[in-house]
């Protein structure tokens, strides 16, 4: 997640590279309990090139997303498929 829109306001995840690009930074929280993000002025939304550059810079500065562990349901399904394949391979005609 690089940015989100909440209540008609654009919030961008804070990064040092994004801070350098923005210069003067205004921060705000998109929802109660959220970490502060860069709050982008509504006038800047119209500047497509500027906004694209900000999002590219911010995305490049963020770490890659963490892989989620498989859910138990998915694990059971995978195990069941593996067992079925194993049994079909080991059965003697």
Let me know the angle formed at the C-alpha of 78 by 72 and 81, rounded to the nearest 5 degrees: 140
- Answer whether residue 62 shows pLDDT above 80: yes
**Positive or negative torsion for Cα 20, 2, 60, 46:** negative
Q: pLDDT digit string (tens) for 1-27?
A: 899 999 999 999 999 999 999 999 999
- Answer whether residue 88 shows pLDDT above 70: no
Quote the tokens at residue 37: 């993000």
User: What whole-number percentage of the chain has pLDDT above 70?
Assistant: 75
Highest mean pLDDT: which range of 18-27, 64-73, 82-91: 18-27
pTM: 0.70
The answer to whether 6 and 55 have CB atoms below 8 angstroms apart is no
Domain boundaries, given as residue ranges, for the chain: 3-61
């Amino acid at each position: 997640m690089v940015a989100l829109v909440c209540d008609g306001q654009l919030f961008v995840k804070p990064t040092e590279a994004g801070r350098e690009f923005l210069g003067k930074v205004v921060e705000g929280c998109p929802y109660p309990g959220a970490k502060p993000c860069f709050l982008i002025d509504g006038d800047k939304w119209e500047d497509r090139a500027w906004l694209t550059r900000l999002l590219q810079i911010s995305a490049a500065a963020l770490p890659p997303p963490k892989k989620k562990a498989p859910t138990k349901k998915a694990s059971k399904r995978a195990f069941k498929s593996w067992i079925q394949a194993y049994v079909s391979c080991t059965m003697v005609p």
